[in-house]
Amino acid sequence: MKHSISSQTVAVIIVNYNGGKLLQRCLTALSQQTRKPEQILLVDNNSDDFSAEEISTHFPQIEILPLNENRGFAAANNLAVERLADMEWVVLLNPDAYAEPDWLENFLIGAERHPECAFFGCRMLAMEENRLDGTGDVYHVSGATWRRDFGQSSERRQLSDEILSPSGAAALYRRDIYLDVGGFNEDFFCYLEDVDLGLRLQLRGSRCFYIADAVVTHQGSGLVGRYSDFQIYHGHRNLVWVYFINMPSPWLWIYLPQHLLYNLASIVLFIFRGKGRVIFRSKIDAIKGLSRAWQQRKNVQAKARISTIELRKRMAHGLLAPYFNRNE
């Protein structure tokens, strides 16, 4: 007989790069959880601010895995999940996400109530008072993606419901399912690797649920800066790869004009913002990587277990929706 999820093993993974005081606040919140994780694994991406060393002093119970180079958010999480062989569940948590005391407990209770789902998102509050940072990731048929309820009242979305994918800033995955689909795509380095993984899991037949009473406060790009060149480059390069890897035929071709239009609109937007060089570089490098993305696509689509019609139902539609829901 399968035992209760509350008695199953769970580890929290935090990938750090120069997290400083944000990381300390994150770990302080974790130390106050009503349901303690079996393990907290901090993967340090070769920080140069001594944040990992400080953590070893102030939080000696936390295991630290130091890397000799910055391997990115995707690769660092994959390394951690592989390492946690004794865990049945893994939780990904960003250093700039601060969990409420009952966050992990409610996450696990919610997962127990929805055994048909293999991964879960939580309620993310913004640093701005009475605002949401998000309640799950949305994927539009054009390839645009945004955080659901971003900037909306914190009173919104009080009930749990099914979503396409969680934000990787605070997400719960069954470890075996995560590994079965290959984890995060390490070519992405960071940004949209969570959406890409969510789509691959959906294609394999997994489902995702938003747990409304599992709550974190998320600073959002606290380590690299929101709207930084780093974020723009990786986000808009990876947006193209997510589309070509995961969008099944015939939708890939039917919605390709919308995809091209959205990319063109993004280029125009960032030119007006004085970010023309970085947006052009992101799109040029996206095109250069399409051959590799297409090879990955063949593998992903060959293993799909749900119909293309069913996957389309789980995506957002509407020609103008991406332009009214931009989180940037």
* Percentage of the chain modeled with pLDDT above 70: 96
Give the pLDDT confidence score for residue 182 in this predicted structure: 97
Q: Please give the Cα distance from 285 to 302 (Å, whole number).
A: 26
Residue 327 has pLDDT above 90, yes or no: no
> In terms of residue numbers, what domain contains 290?
229-321
DSSP result, 294-307? HHHHHHHHHT--S-
> pTM of the full predicted structure?
0.94
224: in domain? no
Q: Around 39, how many Cα atoms within 13 Å sit in the side-chain half-sphere? A: 21
Same structural domain, 245 and 207: no
Give the pLDDT confidence score for residue 7 in this predicted structure: 76
Calculate the average pLDDT of the chain.
Answer: 94
Instruction: Place 3 in a pLDDT band, splitting at 50, 70 and 90.
Output: very low
Same structural domain, 143 and 44: yes
**Of the residues 158, 187, 218, the one at which a domain ends:** 218
pLDDT tens digits, one per residue of 202-228: 999 999 999 999 999 999 765 555 679
Same structural domain, 256 and 203: no
Element (H, E) at 163: strand 161-163
Tell me what the mean pLDDT of segment 238-265 comes to: 97
Give the pLDDT confidence score for residue 108 in this predicted structure: 96
Give the pLDDT confidence score for residue 55 in this predicted structure: 87
DSSP result, 73-114? HHHHHHHHHHH-TT-SEEEEE-TTEEE-TTHHHHHHHHHHH-
Same structural domain, 131 and 156: yes
User: Are residues 227 and 235 in contact, defined by beta-carbon separation less than 8 angstroms?
Assistant: no
DSSP one-letter code for 328: -
Q: Which two tokens stand for residue 308?
A: 């293309």
pLDDT tens digits, one per residue of 164-191: 999 999 999 999 999 999 999 999 999 9
pLDDT tens digits, one per residue of 43-59: 999 998 877 788 888 89
Nearest to 80 by CA among 163, 209, 183: 183
Q: What CATH number has the domain bearing residue 214?
A: 3.90.550.10
Give the pLDDT confidence score for residue 223 in this predicted structure: 57
Q: By CB neighbour count within 10 A (0-12 exposed, 13-18 middle, 19+ buried), where does 303 fall?
A: middle
**Of the residues 218, 242, 260, the one at which a domain ends:** 218
Same structural domain, 113 and 132: yes
pLDDT tens digits, one per residue of 144-157: 999 999 999 999 99
Name, in order, each residue with C-beta under 8 angstroms of 114's C-beta and a sequence gap of 6 or more.
120, 209
Q: Around 42, how many Cα atoms within 13 Å sit in the side-chain half-sphere? A: 26
**Of the residues 218, 252, 277, the one at which a domain ends:** 218
Distances (CA, A) of 208 to 3, 33, 111, 312: 21, 23, 10, 15
pLDDT tens digits, one per residue of 292-306: 999 999 999 999 999
Same structural domain, 24 and 153: yes
The neighbouring-strand residues paired with 124 are 134, 216
Q: Angle, to 10 degrees, between the axis of helix 229-246 and the axis of helix 193-203?
A: 10
pLDDT tens digits, one per residue of 84-106: 999 999 999 999 999 999 999 99
Amino acid identity, position 160:
S
Nearest to 166 by CA among 91, 85, 80: 91
Residue 134 has pLDDT above 50, yes or no: yes
Residue 132 has pLDDT above 50, yes or no: yes
Instruction: Place 1 in a pLDDT band, splitting at 50, 70 and 90.
Output: very low
Give the pLDDT confidence score for residue 52 in this predicted structure: 78
Same structural domain, 240 and 102: no
Number of domains in the chain: 2
Give the pLDDT confidence score for residue 302 in this predicted structure: 97
Same structural domain, 168 and 263: no
Same structural domain, 165 and 282: no
Give the pLDDT confidence score for residue 51 in this predicted structure: 77
Name, in order, each residue with C-beta under 8 angstroms of 158's C-beta and a sequence gap of 6 or more.
212
Q: Which residue has the tokens 């539009």?
A: 140
User: Are residues 62 and 27 in contact, defined by beta-carbon separation less than 8 angstroms?
Assistant: yes
